[in-house]
């Protein structure tokens, strides 16, 4: 019997390994940026086209590579970071597996230009699908330039699974920010489709955070610092009033490496206990320095998860240090036993008694007295401008009740005979037909969540949140497609601050937002000015609405303009729809029922959830037939 197990060819093995290492263009960005950092570069430039699908290029001024290293770096399991298995527990660098460049070269067109400082000439390599197509000597600047073009050109199925350019570029920005935050002493630049997105000079940690997330971030930060034998913690957390609905500005950096840790995140949330609104997330930029032999970073292919030796002690230190910082900077309430001298009673008032208030009563006042009309003097009528009476109170000559009977004639009894009286009709029912009809079609609200209305066949139960989402979704979608919506102008325009990536997304959907009723007076490099709002949007809801809209579109933005408008309408409907727990008046309930069944698809919400159910009389009879 012939053997059925065979060794895979190198190019197939590299493509399989690439599936673990390279999931999207952002994975290439991460590997190349970390290699540039390990090369001791002081200036790193990232150039991206079409969200990395066409080009990802990283240029650095680091050590560079020799001719032999330039060829050897594309081989599998070739690395300069480790020699023994024990080295995995004393790592001070980023990449160490030796599979990244080999995996990238297997699924893209790679061009490498590198030169060491002591060499006069450098090396220029071109690789297509793990095959070296050319190698030549060239005049190059010091450092290394990696160009990755046409990602997944030989794996079209993987390329089809990529999201839209907006989503993929957002992942690239995330990786860029993580590396840039971990190395504030290195200058970083990011260019997308020829335009500069970030230009971050070498600075300290606080300035790097401000340069990435905008100038208004500086006032949100609260410093955190703690030093123990187990860990050294430093960084910043944001004040509770600046908490957001999403988890965008949350970074744990351990030994200059970004990680994700739900356990440490829970420690931060425990420190904010009682300070945050429901559903809000604080921002934090926490840098941890721990001994390399106390962590294991080789437990996940992307190296974003770390195993700590003593997690319980780290949890306690993290929670207490953040809670101490929030209390120290008067962000959270603390017990203060020191007396504030400004609240003391002055010495001049120490022996002074309190002055009791006096009440004055006019004993001559008679509310039933007849007031006299002011008499106009002859001098007033002649134009002298003076009154003869000293009193200016309004008076009348007769009591008010007598004026009710003036003009009524009681001369004859014939007028009284002509008066017709309506006879009361006696019916056998306690309620008339109109009252019965109103009682039948009356709506009721149950648990501030459902609207119940009787119908001919039984009972109608409506989910008020989903129903309102459907109503508002069709309204916004109609406004966007028809490009005509009413707008209410603001007396004082709103100024909202965002970072660069969020502003680019607002510019992209500016036309669709304007069709819904938004009016943007200005879109600057770090803020926007809103001068008009849709009719059903209040000023307090604008920042929350745009924040949730940006978050939704960053996760998944469809390619076509109609689909993008659909996503905007869905996001706005979800943000502005009435929530569960809101008490609705009877008129609001009836209006929601009528508006729901006036929609084109009243059966489901914009997110394909049922908006109402019906219970027939037969179903109710079966319930009582037990």
Q: What are phi and psi of 196, to 5 degrees?
A: -80, 125
Average pLDDT over residues 287-296: 85
Alpha-carbon torsion, ordered 202, 205, 208, 209, to 10 deg: 170
- Residue of 606, 509, 613, 492 lying closest to 557 (CA atoms): 509
The pair of structure tokens assigned to 575 is 């943000």
Rounded mean pLDDT, 437-442:
52
Give the per-residue pLDDT at 380: 46
Question: Quick check: 542 and 530 in contact, CB under 8 A?
Answer: yes
Closest CA to 39 of 9, 18, 69: 69
* Mean pLDDT on 597-618: 90
- Average pLDDT of the chain, as a whole number: 80
pLDDT at 96 over 90: no
Cα–Cα distance measured from residue 585 to residue 309, given in angstroms and rounded to the nearest whole number: 58
User: How far is Cα of residue 15 from the mean position of the Cα atoms in its chain?
Assistant: 37
Average pLDDT over residues 61-67: 90
Task: Reply yes or no on whether the pLDDT at 91 is more than 70.
Answer: no
Of the given ranges (86-95, 522-531, 541-550), which has the lowest mean pLDDT? 86-95
Give the separation between CA 480 and CA 477, rounded to whole angstroms: 5
DSSP state of 579: P
Whole-angstrom Cα distance, residue 83 to residue 96? Answer: 10
**Which band of pLDDT confidence, cut at 50, 70 and 90, is reported for residue 371?**
low
pLDDT at 430 over 60: no
Helix, strand, or coil here: 604? strand
The HSE-up count of residue 65 (CA atoms within 13 Å, CB side) is 24
pLDDT score of 88 more than 70: no
Residue 601 has pLDDT above 60, yes or no: yes
DSSP codes of every residue in 325-360 = HHHHTTSS-----SPPGGGSPPGGGSSPPPPPP---
For residue 501, count CB atoms less than 10 angstroms from its CB and return exposed for 0-12, middle for 13-18, buried for 19 or more.
Answer: buried
Average pLDDT over residues 490-501: 86
Domains for the chain: give ranges and CATH numbers.
Answer: 10-200 (3.30.565.10), 213-328 (3.30.230.10), 450-614 (3.30.1370.100)
The two three-digit tokens of residue 237, written as one number: 């957390």
Tell me what percent of the chain is helix, strand and coil, each rounded to the nearest 5.
Answer: 35, 20, 40
Confidence of residue 345 (pLDDT cuts 50, 70, 90): low
- Give the CA-trace dihedral at 83, 87, 88, 92, to 10 degrees: -110
Contact between 576 and 456 (Cβ < 8 Å) = no
pLDDT recorded at residue 470: 93
Percentage, residues of the chain above pLDDT 90: 28
User: Which pTM value belongs to this model?
Assistant: 0.70
Phi, psi (deg, nearest 5) at residue 410:
-120, 35
State the Cα–Cα distance between residues 37 and 253, nearest whole angstrom. Answer: 15
Per-residue pLDDT, 538:
85
224, pLDDT greater than 90: yes
Residue 492, classed as helix, strand or coil, is strand
Rounded distance, CA 626 to CA 623, Å?
6
Q: Given this model, what pLDDT does residue 431 score?
A: 41
Mean pLDDT, range 347-358, rounded to an integer:
73
* CA proximity to 542, closest of 496, 510, 485: 496
pLDDT band at 2 (very low <50, low <70, confident <90, very high): low
How confident is residue 93, by pLDDT bands cut at 50, 70 and 90?
low
- For residue 204, give both structure tokens: 């300290």
| Burial track 536-548 (b if 16+ CB lie within 10 A, e otherwise) | ebeeeebeebbbb
From CA 209, how far away is CA 475, in angstroms rounded? 40
Residue with tokens 């609001």: 588
Would strands 122-128 and 131-138 be described as parallel, antiparallel, or unpaired? antiparallel
- 3-class secondary-structure state, position 534: strand
And the tokens for 291?
Answer: 């001994």
Question: 444-446 and 519-523: which strand pairing?
Answer: unpaired
Residue matched to tokens 């009723």: 517
In a 3-state reduction of DSSP, which class is residue 546?
Answer: helix
User: Contact at 8 Å (CB) between 84 and 72?
Assistant: no
Give CA angle at 524 (519, 529), nearest 5°. 35
- Per mean pLDDT, which range of 88-102, 137-151, 425-439, 516-530 is the poorest? 425-439
Q: Which of 15-29, 159-173, 197-211, 253-267 has the lowest mean pLDDT?
A: 15-29
**Which pLDDT score is estimated for 92?**
56
Does the pLDDT of residue 540 top 90, yes or no? Answer: no
pLDDT of residue 301: 58
Measured between alpha carbons, how far is residue 221 from residues 80, 214, 510 in Å? 39, 12, 30
- Angle, helices 165-182 vs 500-508, to 10°: value is 170
């Amino acid at each position: 019997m012939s053997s059925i197990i065979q060794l895979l060819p190198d190019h197939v093995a590299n493509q399989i390994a690439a599936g673990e290492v390279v999931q999207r263009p952002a994975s290439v960005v991460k590997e190349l940026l970390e290699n540039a950092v390990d090369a001791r570069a002081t200036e790193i430039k990232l150039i991206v086209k079409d969200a990395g699908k066409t080009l990802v290029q990283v240029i650095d001024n680091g050590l560079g590579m020799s001719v032999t290293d330039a060829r050897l770096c594309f081989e599998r399991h070739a690395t300069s970071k480790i020699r023994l298995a024990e080295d995995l527990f004393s790592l001070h660098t980023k990449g160490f597996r030796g599979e990244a460049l080999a995996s990238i070269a297997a699924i893209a067109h790679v061009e490498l230009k590198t030169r060491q400082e002591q060499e006069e000439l450098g090396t220029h390599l071109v690789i297509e699908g793990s095959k070296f197509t050319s190698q030549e000597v060239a005049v190059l600047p010091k450092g290394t330039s990696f160009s990755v073009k046409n990602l997944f050109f030989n794996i079209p199925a993987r390329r089809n699974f990529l999201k839209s350019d907006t989503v993929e570029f957002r992942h690239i920005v995330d990786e860029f920010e993580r590396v840039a935050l971990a190395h504030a002493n290195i200058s970083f630049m990011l260019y997308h489709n020829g335009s500069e997105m970030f230009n971050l000079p070498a600075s300290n940690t606080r300035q790097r955070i401000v340069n990435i997330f905008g100038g208004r971030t500086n006032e949100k930060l609260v410093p955190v610092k703690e030093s123990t034998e187990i860990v050294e913690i430093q960084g910043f957390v944001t004040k509770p009033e600046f908490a957001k609905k999403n988890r965008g500005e949350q970074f744990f950096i351990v030994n200059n490496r970004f990680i994700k840790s739900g356990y440490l995140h829970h420690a931060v949330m425990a420190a904010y206990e009682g300070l945050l609104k429901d559903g809000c997330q604080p921002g934090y930029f926490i840098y941890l320095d721990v001994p390399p032999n106390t962590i294991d970073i080789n437990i996940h292919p992307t190296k974003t998860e770390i195993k700590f030796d003593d997690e319980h002690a780290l949890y306690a230190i993290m929670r207490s240090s953040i809670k101490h910082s929030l209390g120290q900077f008067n962000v959270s309430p603390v017990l203060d036993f020191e007396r504030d001298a400004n609240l003391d009673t002055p010495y001049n008032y120490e022996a002074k008694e309190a002055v009791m208030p006096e009440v004055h009563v006019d004993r001559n006042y008679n509310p039933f007295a007849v007031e006299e009309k002011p008499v106009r003097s002859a001098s007033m009528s002649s134009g002298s401008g003076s009154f003869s009476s000293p009193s200016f109170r309004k008076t009348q000559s007769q009591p008010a009740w007598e004026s009710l009977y003036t003009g009524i004639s009681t001369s004859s009894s014939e007028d009284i005979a002509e008066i017709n009286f309506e006879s009361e009709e006696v019916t056998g029912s306690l309620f008339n037909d109109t009252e019965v009809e109103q009682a039948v079609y009356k709506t009721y609200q149950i648990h501030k969540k459902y609207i119940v209305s009787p119908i001919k066949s039984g009972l109608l139960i409506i989910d008020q949140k989903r129903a309102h989402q459907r109503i508002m979704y069709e309204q916004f979608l109609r406004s966007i497609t028809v490009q005509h919506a009413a707008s209410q102008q603001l007396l004082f325009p709103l100024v909202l601050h965002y970072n660069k990536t969020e502003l680019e997304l607002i510019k992209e959907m500016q036309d669709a937002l304007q069709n819904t009723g938004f009016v943007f007076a200005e879109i600057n490099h770090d803020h926007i000015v809103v001068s008009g709002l849709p009719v059903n949007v209040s000023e307090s809801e604008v920042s929350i609405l745009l924040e949730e809209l940006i978050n939704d579109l960053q996760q998944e933005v469809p390619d076509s303009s109609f689909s993008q408008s659909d996503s905007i309408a869905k996001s706005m409907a979800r943000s502005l729809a009435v929530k569960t727990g809101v008490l609705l008046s009877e008129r609001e309930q009836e209006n929601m029922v009528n508006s729901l069944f006036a929609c084109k698809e009243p059966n489901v919400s914009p997110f394909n959830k049922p908006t109402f159910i019906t219970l027939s009389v037969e179903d109710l009879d079966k319930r009582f037939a037990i």
